[in-house]
Amino acid sequence: MQSQPTPAVILRTRPLGEADLIAIVLTPEQGKLETAAARARNSKKRFAGGLSPGMRGVAAIARGRGALLRLESFDATAAHAPVGADLTRFAYVAYLCELTDELVLARHPDPELFAALCLALEQIIAGAPQALHLRQYELALLRCLGLSPALTRCCVCGVEVEVEGDGSAAFDGPRGGVLCLEHERGAPRLPTAALAAIHHLESGGDPAALASAPPALRRAVRDAIQSIVRSHLRRPLHAQAFFAALPRDAGAEGV
């Protein structure tokens, strides 16, 4: 069958024989696909820029003889070289791709999710990488999966949550968000400023607006979102190991 060009992001590859690769790609209209890229490790024409995680481009995909699709070619449409020149970018891109690969099911098209991943990659690769870009993408991913955190109403009963006198609310990531007095059961408390920051990011607000927030607040935002993300992962992500090697600020607020 003739190959069909489609926008795509490379999420992961693994060897297939001596010269071929299995490439996991995310597309807007077909979702996540597993493809076989013949001679991908040798071809300088069909895969001129390689097939590194986080690469954005146009993929030519065709049906194979079996169930596995064929990746005939991949033409990069965005610069990817900065990823290999900066450890922070490399770690952030690896995390975004592995997280997406782990949580997104195969062949479930979601143009909104595809656009969110492309935006996060563009912000991190072409601009100054910030951990807040990771947080905004995590929230977009959770939203597309139907797992958005409850920020104003109890995630158990739906009652509007009242802020305590200390300016905080009970928040339990694995259970889904904020909790009312009846259901909080000793859950950790989250400052309302952190809840406001999460809402700002989830609604598409500019992450730069929070860049000057106190480090403790940014860490609270990270911990709250990560508590939700981790509850849906089957295993720790390999990309998390890269954060230990980053400069203190970039690593501490990453994952």
Count of other CB atoms within 10 angstroms of residue 10? 26
Full set of structural domains in the chain with CATH: 4-76 (2.40.50.140), 81-148+181-252 (1.20.1440)
State what percent of residues in the chain have pLDDT above 70. Answer: 98
Is 90 exceeded by the pLDDT of residue 21? yes
Is 80 exceeded by the pLDDT of residue 44? no
Q: pLDDT band at residue 246, thresholds of 50, 70 and 90?
A: confident
Count of other CB atoms within 10 angstroms of residue 157? 10
- pTM for this one? 0.94
Residue from 131, 139, 98 nearest 237 by CA: 98
The letter for the amino acid at 55 is M
Is 80 exceeded by the pLDDT of residue 56? yes
pLDDT confidence of residue 17:
87
Q: pLDDT band at residue 249, thresholds of 50, 70 and 90?
A: low
How does pLDDT run across 69-119, given as a tens digit for each residue?
A: 999 999 999 999 999 999 999 999 999 999 999 999 999 999 999 999 999
Q: For residues 20 and 240, what is the distance between their CA atoms, to the nearest angstrom?
A: 28
Beta bridge partners of 177: 150, 172
pLDDT confidence of residue 187:
95
User: 38-61 burial string, b = 16+ CB within 10 Å, else e?
Assistant: bebbeeeebbeebbbbbbbbebbb
How does pLDDT run across 191-240, given as a tens digit for each residue?
A: 999 999 999 999 999 999 999 999 999 999 999 999 999 999 999 999 99
Count of other CB atoms within 10 angstroms of residue 69? 20
